[in-house]
Each structure stands twice: as C-alpha cells, then as structure tokens.
Amino acid sequence: MTPLVFIALAVAGGLGAAARMVLDGAIKSRASGPWATMGINVSGSLALGILTGSAGEQILPEAWHLVIGTGFLGGYTTFSTASFETIRLIQERQWASGLVSGLGTLALATAAAGLGLWIGGLV
C-alpha cells in the first residue's frame, strides 16, 4: 500500500463516519428504534457487495476497492453500534425490537451483501 492510498483510506474513513452520523440523525428524527443503524448497515453491506463484485471482475482497481470499501464503507457501517443497540433493547425488555435489531440486521445485511456481490459481478 502506497502512502497516498493510506492517506486516502484514512480520509475516506472519516468521510464515511461523517456520512453515517448525518444519515443516522436524519433517520432518528423521523423514526425511533434501531432502524437508522439497520438501514446504514444494510445499505453499506449492499454497497460493499457491489464494490467487491466489481473489483473481482477487474472493473475497479484494488486501490479504489481499499479506499472505498475499507475506508469509506468501513467508517460508514457500524457493527459495534448495532450490537450495543440490540443489547440496550434487550435490557429495556423490548424483546421484539431486540430480536429484529440483532437477527434482522444479520439477515438483511448478509442478504444485501450477497445481492450486491451478484450485481457487482454483472456490471
């Protein structure tokens, strides 16, 4: 990895985190519950699947795959927040929301990543 790619990766990570914060705030101002984090993680999984599928088909250079995938989407998605929200919902005895948050995020994000990988391979 070149120094330029490393710097671009770090900047992209910061931009991804900022994008997550803005989108999270916009969704939470309209809906309560784990929906913001779920939406962010599912959309990030779809985007990473498309990106990885495109890189696998040699459509996208590996440096861009690193910067966008590891940097931006790594900063954008947030497994730790999803885990924390799930535990918080369970502690608050919101069993259905906790189940949707934990298992729903896992199922939907995995399905979105698979769909994205398929789409990325078609491009």
Q: Consult the annotation and say whether 74 binds a ligand.
A: yes
Q: Consult the annotation and say whether 77 binds a ligand.
A: yes
Distances (CA, A) of 33 to 6, 24, 39, 77, 107: 36, 11, 11, 17, 18
What is the Cα–Cα distance from 59 to 68, expressed in whole angstroms? 14
What residues are designated binding site? 74, 77
What residues are designated binding site for Na(+)? 74, 77
